[in-house]
Chains A and B, each alone.
Chain A
Amino acid sequence: MLVPLFGFLKGDTIGLVVLVHDTDRIKDLAASLQEAASVRVKPKTYAQVYRHGELLDPELTIAEVGLSALDRIDVIAENI
């Protein structure tokens, strides 16, 4: 199932709609958002995904962490 999420990448100026499968992993979500924002924000090597301040396990899937359509997620990326 496709799940549209409101994604906010730290350093970016706008929220984007990230479309992911519920079987995708959190780290894939981070990569998608970084890619979608890459015109403005240079993608970085390491990214963490948060929901309401709670850090999500990058290896879990969208369904496993219970993200549903039009939830807000925040991605903080850095080079390490």
Chain B
Amino acid sequence: MLKRDDWLDLARKLDWDFSYVEEREVFPEEISGSPWLTAETWKDWDEPYRTSYTEYVKNQSIKEASVHAVRDAVGKVEDFQKHDPSWINGLKLHAATLALAEFAAVVGNLRAARFGRDSAWRTTALLGALDELRHAQIPLLIMHELVRWDPQFDWTHKFFHTNNWIAIAGRHLVDELLITSDPMEFAVGTNFVFETGFTNLQFIGLSTMAHAAGDRMFEKMVKSIQTDEARHAQIGHPVLQKIIAHDPKRAQYLVDKWFWRNWLFFAVITGFSMDYLTPLKHRTQSFKEFMQEWVLDQFKRSLEEMGLALPWYWQQFLDAIDTYHHMVYASAYTYRATTWFNFALPGPEERTWLQEKYAKTWPLFDPIWEQITNRWRKSGPGVEWYTHGATPVTFCNLCQLVLCGGSPERNSAEVITRGARKYVFCSKPCRWIFESEPERYEHHKDVVMRILSGEAPGNLFELLRYFDLTPSIWGKDVAGGRYPWMQLSKG
């Protein structure tokens, strides 16, 4: 057989000069991306993986067989029932934000498979679309088994179809990043920042923890998905290089914007799992340590190599690694009924661990958990509402997540007035992103706006229904407040 490199370029470099239509008609700027560059500029585009179709279906069918074998062996309800309840709830959070977001990425990749400016790019993007279809279908097939055991797993599919506040935030991100971004922005936001910048957190971090927790199914799923990401993520680098060469300001903007938006997403999804929902005995590193080891250094290095500066908010970002996910978790714990998964209450041992890992900032959070614990003690187990907030919370007009920026000492929220409307942001970077492209964001109605305009109910119980939650679904404390240590330390 011929070696791949002997023939593949014949099938990868297939752009031609149009005669019957204009190039700008075939690749309109609004859907191909900016800056609009001529075909000539793109013709040396390349990526290193250069996978052929034959190799693709061969490797992927093997990977599929292997995931299905693990599913047959350890993917039954009984297998999941063995796991620690907090771990299971981390799984629910991940599953819900994964499946339909991956399918959204099928759409984004298909757009690139049509409007990417070089045929090799389009071909890799098409394989990317197939990969993302895989990543949508695997969790749907695995988690479907679990619905009859625990209906919260239904949100693996349902989540993005709901009015839940996390779903609104999720869609706000996924819509812009995956479904409605042009191929150039997609290449920077998804391929470069998300897939090469952040997914190591999932691959190395979460799969290590899944391994430690004995969850072979999740470990297998994450690892298998990552091997696909590693391939199609290669699109990011060469596209970004072209943008840098022709419009360095835009390149820097796209990187800065997407690093921040992706950071907030991972802080919630992965931060919750690593520092709160993974049982203490299975934790290998803190979220912060994983960020430092697997995200920061690599990201800084690749920016440097490309001649880009660190995002202007870098110091704020470094500070946020110590605080943001703790802010959101404590807040969400006390609004857990507004979610579809259950929350673990950090006990004395967990708090000692968090104190060690976050020596500088944990003293600001510890009193909060002390207060929540005291209220559990007062109410006794099973009385969820006594450790639950009732006042509406606030949402950032960019990321749509709760206003948990800064620290308990000083929340970093900012209010601005534009025309007749006030907007609030959780942080300076969110405000900056909004003000850089207001036409994208200013029409959006956050949950508070919906409540004030009567579109959503203000009463918490009714609001839960608006969030598509019912008593059997909404989030609770994983132990219903029945923690052995709570009794012990009381005496």
* A residues apposed to B, CB below 8 Å: 4, 6, 8, 10-18, 36-42, 69-72, 74
The distance in angstroms between the C-alpha atoms of A39 and B393, with both chains bound, is 13
Chain B interface, number of residues (Cβ within 8 angstroms): 38
Mask for B395-415, Cβ within 8 A of A = 1, else 0?
Answer: 000000011100011110111
Set of chain B residues within 8 Å of A38, measured between Cβ atoms: 371
Contact in complex: A72, B331 (CB < 8 Å): no
A39-B404 contact, Cβ under 8 Å, with A11-B367, A15-B393, A16-B392 = no
Set of chain A residues within 8 Å of B411, measured between Cβ atoms: 8, 12, 14-15, 74
Contact in complex: B334, A17 (CB < 8 Å): no
Contact in complex: A17, B371 (CB < 8 Å): no
Mask for B229-264, Cβ within 8 A of A = 1, else 0?
Answer: 000000000000000000000000000000000000
* B residues apposed to A, CB below 8 Å: 326-328, 330-331, 334, 364-365, 367-368, 371-372, 374-375, 386-394, 402-404, 408-411, 413-415, 422, 424, 448, 451-452
Contact in complex: B334, A16 (CB < 8 Å): no
**What's the least CB distance linking A8 to chain B, in Å?**
4
Which of A13, A37, A38, A72 has the largest count of B CB atoms less than 10 A from its CB? A13
Set of chain B residues within 8 Å of A70, measured between Cβ atoms: 415, 422, 424
30 residue pairs of the A-B complex, CB under 8 angstroms, read A4-B452, A6-B403, A6-B424, A8-B411, A10-B410, A11-B364, A12-B408, A13-B330, A13-B365, A13-B408, A14-B394, A14-B402, A14-B403, A14-B404, A15-B403, A15-B424, A16-B389, A16-B393, A17-B391, A17-B392, A36-B390, A39-B375, A39-B387, A40-B371, A40-B389, A41-B371, A69-B422, A70-B424, A72-B415, A74-B411
Contact in complex: B389, A17 (CB < 8 Å): no
Set of chain B residues within 8 Å of A37, measured between Cβ atoms: 389, 391
Which of B328, B374, B393, B408 has the largest count of A CB atoms less than 10 A from its CB? B408
**What's the least CB distance linking A55 to chain B, in Å?**
16
Q: Which single member of A8, A10, A18 contacts B413 (CB below 8 Å)?
A: A8
Contact in complex: A40, B334 (CB < 8 Å): yes
Which of B375, B388, B411 has the largest count of A CB atoms less than 10 A from its CB? B411
**What's the least CB distance linking B475 to chain A, in Å?**
15
Given contact pairs A14-B393, A17-B391, a sample of 10 additional A-B residue pairs in the complex whose CB atoms are under 8 Å apart: A8-B403, A11-B364, A14-B327, A16-B394, A37-B389, A39-B375, A39-B388, A39-B389, A71-B415, A72-B415
Which of B326, B388, B389, B391 has the largest count of A CB atoms less than 10 A from its CB? B391
Contact in complex: B368, A41 (CB < 8 Å): yes
Chain A's closest residue to B451 (CB) is A17
**What's the least CB distance linking B412 to chain A, in Å?**
10
The distance in angstroms between the C-alpha atoms of A13 and B369, with both chains bound, is 11
Set of chain B residues within 8 Å of A10, measured between Cβ atoms: 408-410
Which of A10, A38, A40, A70 has the largest count of B CB atoms less than 10 A from its CB? A40
**What's the least CB distance linking B4 to chain A, in Å?**
53
Q: Which single member of A4, A15, A42, A74 contacts B402 (CB below 8 Å)?
A: A15
A6-B415 contact, Cβ under 8 Å, with A14-B393, A16-B393 = yes
